[in-house]
């Protein structure tokens, strides 16, 4: 971002923030277990680049607090900023321009759900040391257990189905969304642990409790909870933006530099 924001950015960022809020409320009427309150942030990152995406995320959470809708949102501003930033870089690499083969999407879904189930199983089978740290089981032990192997196989099949039938040709945007979810979990865990003691007073607290039951400390449980729930929320946000960008006429897209092929 060279110097000051131009008028297109100045016009789009407030609209994107309003989309975050109004879109989030709209999704609430559907009673889905996802928030989708960062669609505007992802959109600006995709259309105007990573730095504008970062600014949109930071200011969006400032608005949540400033408007009195959510007094605590400001503490999670870095998370929102990172989402816009990654969306912008993903768009620079062409994730929102091209479609991917469906086989690739299936592979992505399978690998992701497998990694997630491995993560959860490792956590659940971890044993706490007397000093409070966690002793994680060896991979060979995990694969020796029949229940675990069944879980892994189910995860692989479900992941492949998710990739093939849901992500379809949005594979590149999907990967970007999943990575964003992981990074969001890393950034938000320390905030959740130190400011809120790991809980937020919402449904995801059940997950935090479940991970703490396996002996993890508050920071690890907050991170594990984020790793399980964030990628799906961000995957959905990225795919919604991907679908919308695909359906936009070129006349409209030309105004935004982020989605245009680089002219060398």
Options 70-78, 100-108, 113-121, 223-231: segment touching another protein (CB under 8 A): 70-78
For 135, list phi and psi in degrees, rounded to 5: -100, 115
DSSP string, 207-256: HHHHHHHTT--HHHHHHHHHHHHHHHHHHHHHHHHHHHHHHS-HHHHTT-
CB burial of 109-148 (b: ≥16 within 10 Å; e: otherwise) equals bbbbbbbbbbebbbbbebeeeeeeeeeebeeeebeeeeeb
Q: Is the Cβ of residue 154 or residue 213 nearer to another protein in the bound state?
A: 213
CA distance 98 to 173: 9
Options 86-94, 128-136, 144-152, 169-177: segment touching another protein (CB under 8 A): 128-136
Position among 107, 158, 199, 219 found at the interface with another protein (CB under 8 A): 199
SS3 201: coil
Q: Is the Cβ of residue 147 or residue 247 nearer to another protein in the bound state?
A: 247
Provide the phi-psi class of 260: left if phi over 0, else alpha when psi is between -120 and 50, else beta. beta
Q: Based on the shown chain and the rule CB under 8 A, indicate whether residue 198 belongs to the binding site for another protein.
A: yes
String marking each residue 13-32 x if it binds another protein according to CB under 8 A: xxxxxxx-xxx-xxx-xxxx
Q: Based on the shown chain and the rule CB under 8 A, indicate whether residue 11 belongs to the binding site for another protein.
A: yes
Options 82-90, 95-103, 167-175, 234-242: segment touching another protein (CB under 8 A): 234-242
Position among 178, 179, 218, 224 found at the interface with another protein (CB under 8 A): 218
Q: What is the DSSP letter of 257?
A: G
Q: Based on the shown chain and the rule CB under 8 A, indicate whether residue 41 belongs to the binding site for another protein.
A: no
Judged by the rule CB under 8 A, the positions of this chain that interact with another protein are 4-8, 10-19, 21-23, 25-27, 29-32, 36, 39-40, 43, 55, 59-60, 62-63, 65-69, 71-72, 74, 128, 130-132, 195-202, 205, 208-209, 212-213, 218, 236, 240-241, 243-244, 247-248, 252, 255
């Amino acid at each position: 971002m060279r110097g000051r924001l131009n008028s297109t950015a100045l016009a789009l960022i407030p609209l994107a923030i309003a989309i975050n809020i109004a879109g989030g409320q709209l999704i609430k009427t559907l009673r889905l277990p996802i928030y989708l309150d960062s669609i505007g942030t992802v959109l600006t990152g995709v259309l105007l680049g990573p730095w504008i995406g970062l600014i949109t995320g930071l200011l969006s959470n400032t608005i949540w607090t400033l408007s009195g809708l959510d007094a605590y949102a400001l503490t999670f501003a870095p998370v929102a900023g990172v989402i816009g930033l990654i969306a912008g870089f993903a768009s620079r690499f062409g994730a929102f321009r091209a479609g991917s083969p469906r086989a690739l999407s299936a592979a992505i879904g399978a690998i992701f759900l497998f990694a997630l189930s491995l993560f959860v199983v490792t956590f659940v089978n971890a044993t706490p040391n007397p000093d409070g740290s966690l002793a994680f089981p060896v991979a060979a032990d995990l694969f020796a257990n029949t229940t675990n192997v069944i879980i892994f196989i189910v995860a692989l099949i479900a992941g492949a189905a998710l990739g093939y039938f849901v992500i379809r040709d949005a594979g590149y945007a999907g990967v970007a969304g999943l990575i964003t979810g992981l990074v969001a979990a890393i950034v938000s865990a320390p905030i959740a642990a130190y400011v809120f003691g790991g809980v937020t007073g919402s449904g995801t607290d059940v997950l935090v409790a479940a991970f703490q039951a396996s002996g993890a400390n508050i920071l690890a449980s907050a991170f594990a909870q984020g790793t399980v729930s964030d990628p799906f929320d961000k995957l959905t946000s990225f795919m919604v933006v991907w679908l919308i960008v695909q359906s936009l006429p070129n006349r409209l897209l030309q105004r935004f530099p982020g989605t245009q092929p680089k002219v060398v």
